[in-house]
Structure 1
Amino acid sequence: MDKKDRSLMFQAIAGTVGRNREIRRLHFEKGKSIPEIARMYKMSRQAIWVICTREE
């Protein structure tokens, strides 16, 4: 795991659980795409992807 992966993981996990839950809800219930959510929250697409694919 290189430095970039570690920082992405930290960026995704450091976010509050409430925000992560909201991001997951937008993606799965509202059907928003990952790039759309990334723009809304000003986060990287990879970080959103990690949040959406990681089990809570």
Structure 2
Amino acid sequence: MLTRTQGWERVLLVLASALLIAPELYSTLVGLALIVPVLIRQFSARGQSAVPA
């Protein structure tokens, strides 16, 4: 990730990963839709704070 993930992001990513594993089109699309808000927040927060190396 680009920045440290928050609790709600972790929950969404765990749910999305479970849905992406399921071999159905609908569950895959829902899984991808759950990842979008996390990516948006990660990219918007990238310039504000960086994860220490």
In which range does the TM-score fall when normalised by the shorter chain? 0.3 to 0.5
User: Structure 2-normalised TM-score?
Assistant: 0.37
User: Structure 1-normalised TM-score?
Assistant: 0.36
Which protein has greater RCO, CA pairs closer than 8 Å, 6+ apart?
A: 2
Larger Rg: 2
